[in-house]
Amino acid sequence: MTTSGNGADANAADAAADAALPPPEQHEFDRLRNLLFGDELRAAEAARARLTEIERQQRALPDRLPHALEAAGAAPRVAHALAGPVAHALGAAVRENRQVVVDTLFPVIGPLIRKSIAEALRNLVADLNGAIESSFTLRGLKWRLEAWRGGVPYAQVVLKHRLAYRIDHVFLIARDSGLVLRHESAPDLPALDADAIAGMLTAIGDFVGDSVGQGGGSALDSAQVGEYLVWVVQGPRANLACFMRGVPPGGLRSLLEQRLEEIHAQLGDLRLEQAPNDAALATAWHETLQPMALVRAAGIDDGVAAAQRPPSRWPLLLLLLLALAGLVAFFAQRERWDDRIDALRARLQAQPGFVLTGLDAEPWRKVTVRGLLDPDADSLHGILERAELGDAKVDVVGTGYLSTDDAVVARRARRLLALPAGVDSSVHDGVLELKGKAPDAWIALARERAGWVAGVRRVEMAVLPDADPVATAQAELATLAHRLPTLQVPFANDALLAAGGGSVVDDIVDAAKRAQALAAAAHARIAFTSVGSNDEVGTDEANQRVRAMRARWLADTLAARGLDGGGQPIALGEDAANNRRAAYLRLDIEAAK
């Protein structure tokens, strides 16, 4: 049994080995493929390996690129090669992401801009302070005269004289050779190559003289080099060049010419090549050509910056005095206004028929008066005009009421009772007293209606009957003349009659016909005038048109009811003072001839 088992295992192993081997056909196919395409397959495999390596290097490029750029940073070719792409990329970034670029640069540009603006404002304030300080001085008057003569603004002249300037370098240069004889600089400036600058100035001067001057002796007098203004003063043996910043005064050039003349006098017959080695000349020129010494010397006549002189105090005192005077004037005007308002309040409180409830005043601008006003009281316009409030706008906001003041009650009684010419009236503590002569009809009417007048507590009648028929008729005519204007036809709007207007028209017709009947007995000629009135709302032109319209309506209405003006059409009139939307009939009496 053992033998048979070992044989079975051997057979299984052989079968597995045979299965692992490729089929004969596949083995032959691989040999054929290697024979036909072996070189191409090996080349493709090598290309695949190269592509794999390139991809690996591309993935590692971001890590290697900074080290490569650091290693090649010193090479000019690298910078030249990157200049174009970087500039193009920066331009595209600015165009496409403008806000991002602005936000990125803002922390850097913002402080620079603020610093520049602050510096400019500081200089401007200093210049304006100098202009203000010089406005009331002899120098300021001199500058005003200069501005007037030159035809330029005063501020321009002030800035020309007041703007701070500074001398940084002064060169004394031999005219022919360009040798630097002396160089002086401000103490806080670095050293310069004086020989190179002198050579440059000499070359430019020769070029100007030869080319621009065309042999006419023209020379370089001034030039602008960056922020520097260069003045060149020509001399027979040496030139003086001064490098400055700011706006120098005009007298500085005269001072430089004077110093150059002194230097030529000091040279005498000494050769220019020997001058730099002369200790005495060096000391003298150092004191003469020092920048601060030149600034101080020029400041004697023309003035330097305000910081180099103690500020004058009296312009400030003058401003304080002007401010104090303004305050005094303001408080004086306010006190004057308050006094006038107090006087107006006192007059309004004492005005019969008016109760003051409020008085709002904005100084010299607006006054609002609030209160209760009786229709029979005197108008407030006279009081307001006497208040002398200037151009202040005055508004009166009044509410109607009935006053019991004696003066107002007397006026109300005269209006309602239509007192004839022979009757006098007076009111004391609410007692109405009537004296004189009047027709019987009026006496009877007065006895009946006098007690109805608002504010009258008791009536004392001392009126005697007038027996003369003519006088009686004249008295009754006078009564009707007083009564007719009180019969006012109310209007709601324009020519639209208000409620109750028809009954008023009936009363007017009755009174007018009675007047016509009395005219012959009174030996008088009468005439009627239809009068229109309106309130204060609207323009003058519109109000005048409305008044004429209402007067015409009343005249036509009375004519339609048989009333005329003594054989003529009823005349038309206007009453701008009657602040009511109404129309009434006025009776004019004239003695017969």
Length of the chain: 593
Mean pLDDT along residues 6-28: 55
What residue ranges in 284-362 does DSSP mark as E strands? Answer: 354-362
Whether residue 263 is found in the same domain as residue 328: no
Looking at the chain, the whole-number percentage of residues with pLDDT higher than 90 is 8
Mean pLDDT along residues 111-134: 62
Q: Which of 379, 400, 421 is the last residue of a domain?
A: 400
Tell whether the model's pLDDT for residue 121 goes beyond 70: no
Q: What is the DSSP letter of 389?
A: -
**For position 531, what pLDDT does the model report?**
92
Q: Which has more confidence, 395 or 495?
A: 395
CA dihedral sign of residues 534, 536, 537, 541: positive
**For position 308, what pLDDT does the model report?**
43
Which amino acid makes up residue 520? A
Q: Which has more confidence, 267 or 68?
A: 267
Look up residue 271 and give its two tokens.
Answer: 């050769």
Whether residue 367 is found in the same domain as residue 483: no
Q: What is the DSSP letter of 307?
A: G
Range from 245-249, 440-444, 558-562 carrying the lowest mean pLDDT:
245-249
- Between CA 558 and CA 568, with CA 564 as vertex, the angle to 5 degrees is 140
Q: Which of 297, 324, 351 is the last residue of a domain?
A: 297
* CA distances, 72 to each of 65, 77, 90, 479 (Å): 10, 9, 22, 125
Whether residue 500 is found in the same domain as residue 376: no
Task: With H, G, I as helix, E, B as strand and everything else as coil, classify residue 110.
Answer: helix
Please, which pLDDT band fits residue 167 given cuts at 50, 70 and 90? confident
CATH code of the domain in which 389 resides: 3.30.300
Whether residue 328 is found in the same domain as residue 378: yes
Q: What is the DSSP letter of 302?
A: S
β pairing state of 180-185 and 165-174: antiparallel
Q: Which of 264, 297, 330 is the last residue of a domain?
A: 297
**For position 81, what pLDDT does the model report?**
74
* CA distances, 437 to each of 129, 360, 471 (Å): 88, 49, 10
**For position 302, what pLDDT does the model report?**
41
Mean pLDDT along residues 267-288: 81
**For position 103, what pLDDT does the model report?**
66
Q: Is residue 231 part of a domain?
A: yes
Q: Are 384 and 344 in contact (CB under 8 A)?
A: yes
pLDDT tens track for 365-386? 899 999 999 988 888 888 888 8
Q: What's the rounded Cα separation, in Å, for the pair 72 and 34?
A: 48
Backbone angles phi, psi at 549, to 5 degrees: -65, -45
Tell the residue number behind the tokens 């036809």, with chain if given: 489
Q: Is residue 539 part of a domain?
A: yes
Please, which pLDDT band fits residue 584 given cuts at 50, 70 and 90? very high
Whether residue 544 is found in the same domain as residue 479: yes
Query: Strand order of the sheet with strand 393-400?
Result: 354-362, 366-373, 393-400
Task: With H, G, I as helix, E, B as strand and everything else as coil, classify residue 321.
Answer: helix
Contacts of 135-141 spanning 24+ positions with Cβ under 8 A: 135/315, 136/314, 136/315, 136/318, 137/312, 137/315, 139/303
Q: Is residue 130 part of a domain?
A: no
**Domain total in the chain:** 3
Q: Is residue 14 part of a domain?
A: no
Whether residue 290 is found in the same domain as residue 189: yes
Look up residue 282 and give its two tokens.
Answer: 């060096």
Q: Residue 303, by phi and psi: left (phi above 0), alpha (psi -120 to 50) or beta?
A: left
Q: What's the rounded Cα separation, in Å, for the pair 384 and 26?
A: 131
Tell whether the model's pLDDT for residue 75 goes beyond 70: no
* CA distances, 483 to each of 57, 414, 415, 450, 508 (Å): 123, 10, 7, 14, 9
Q: Which has more confidence, 563 or 94?
A: 563
**For position 583, what pLDDT does the model report?**
92
Intra-chain end-to-end CA distance of the chain, in Å: 188
Q: Are 555 and 461 in contact (CB under 8 A)?
A: no
pLDDT tens track for 424-435? 999 999 899 999
Whether residue 169 is found in the same domain as residue 265: yes
Q: Which has more confidence, 178 or 218?
A: 178
**For position 372, what pLDDT does the model report?**
92
Q: Is residue 221 part of a domain?
A: yes
Per the structure, the complete domain to which residue 377 belongs is given by: 316-400
**For position 299, what pLDDT does the model report?**
63
Mean pLDDT along residues 439-461: 86
Q: Is residue 423 part of a domain?
A: no
Please, which pLDDT band fits residue 9 given cuts at 50, 70 and 90? low
Q: Among candidates 367, 434, 373, which has minimal Cα distance to 398?
A: 373
**For position 2, what pLDDT does the model report?**
40
pLDDT tens track for 185-212? 888 777 776 777 777 777 777 666 666 5
Whether residue 285 is found in the same domain as residue 332: no
**For position 306, what pLDDT does the model report?**
40
Q: What's the rounded Cα separation, in Å, for the pair 140 and 143?
A: 5
At what angle are helices 440-449 and 406-417 packed, to 10 degrees?
Answer: 130
**For position 433, what pLDDT does the model report?**
92
Residue 300's Cβ-side half-sphere holds a number of Cα atoms within 13 Å equal to 8
Tell the residue number behind the tokens 């002030």, with chain if given: 158
Whether residue 291 is found in the same domain as residue 173: yes
Look up residue 265 and give its two tokens.
Answer: 């006098």
**For position 24, what pLDDT does the model report?**
58
Q: Is residue 101 part of a domain?
A: no
pLDDT tens track for 220-256? 777 777 777 888 888 888 888 888 887 777 778 888 8
Q: Is residue 68 part of a domain?
A: no
Whether residue 539 is found in the same domain as residue 572: yes
Whether residue 228 is found in the same domain as residue 346: no
Whether residue 278 is found in the same domain as residue 329: no
CB count within 10 Å of CB 137 equals 13
Q: Which has more confidence, 92 or 483?
A: 483
Average pLDDT of the chain is 78
